[in-house]
Amino acid sequence: MQESEPDFAMVVNCLAEQNQRSVLALDTYETFGLMDTWLRHLNENSLASGERVLFLPRWLDRATGEIPSAAVGACFLDIKRTYMELRPGLRRIYTAVIDWNTFEPILFPLGFAPLEKFNVTISGITYHTLMNDFGPSSIDGWLAKLIGTELGVASADTRETRPSNGIGIADGRQLLTVLFTDIVGSTEKALKYGDRKWQNLLDRHHALVRLELARFQGQEVDTAGDGFFATFDKAVNTIECASIVSQAVGVLGIKIRCGLHLGECEVTADAVRGITVHIGARVASKAKAGEVLVSITVKEAVAGSEICFANRGAYELKGKPGKWNLYAVKH
């Protein structure tokens, strides 16, 4: 950065690793407020050993009201250089903007999602917290997804229809975690917005969900209207994906419900079928707005992880015998 642009803070204000954090250049009151908030989110959503986090407390020009400019472009380049140097250990980036509407078209396609619960208001100014979680494949996988999206092709690491984890069962049966999502109040919103605005919102919703599916190695099976049906080899990836999507869609002015179940599925070249699929759909139907609801099999599969759940009690699932204990993921 040039000295003539004092309203830019350093690009790398904090580089953190789980259980070992070093803080650099904390030179503003705003920075301390943002850092405290991001550390709280990090403590609530911890990383695996060796994964790193990049904090960008202040990197947009206040004097111009965060209007995209050559100076902001130069700042983006510095940020890109930094996180390219930190791969493959870099897992997450936290940053903040004042005018999210201005920067949404730029940052949303790159994978940044708003964390509304972690916004910070200082001296009457609201700083909107954004996070980009690159997923287990770090920067290289994220870049592959972006390039694949721009070219309209699948990236090399997502071209397999079903990533193998050694659990495949003969006759096309596989142990999978299924995810169902649904926009809450979609009919009312469609009537309120009109066809064109509603379709635009759906397009943005679909793009956001697909970005996270790719990031967490999920496989889109079907998209019916405003809902998604996807499968994952790992239950923990399913939960992380659903949780991030559930928070990220808030910027679109909508809420979704998510349902997860783990069990054997009959997998063919063009479909995923079986009782597990039906149960997953029923679990989703019981979820509240903004809730990620899971069955007992999903909860037990991630035992020992740091994911926490709230017991939502026992439910009858349409067409399924007995009652099923369901659990909501705690964010």
| pLDDT one-digit tens code per residue, 245-271 | 998 888 788 999 999 999 999 998 778
pLDDT for 281:
92
Rounded to 5°, the CA angle 144-246-182 comes to: 100
Q: Which two tokens stand for residue 87?
A: 């791969």
- Distance between CA atoms of residues 331 and 316, nearest Å: 25
Using CB atoms within 10 Å of the CB of residue 226, give its burial: 0 to 12 exposed, 13 to 18 middle, 19+ buried: buried
239: left (phi over 0), alpha (psi -120 to 50) or beta: alpha
pLDDT for 128:
86
Q: Residue ranges of the chain with pLDDT lower than 70?
A: 1-32, 57-76, 78-80, 83, 87, 136-171
φ and ψ at 126, to 5 degrees?
-95, 125
pLDDT for 38:
85
pLDDT for 166:
33
pLDDT for 42:
81
Helix H or strand E encompassing 264 = strand 256-267
Contact of 46 with 101, CB cutoff 8 Å? no
- Distance between CA atoms of residues 206 and 202, nearest Å: 6
pLDDT for 142:
67
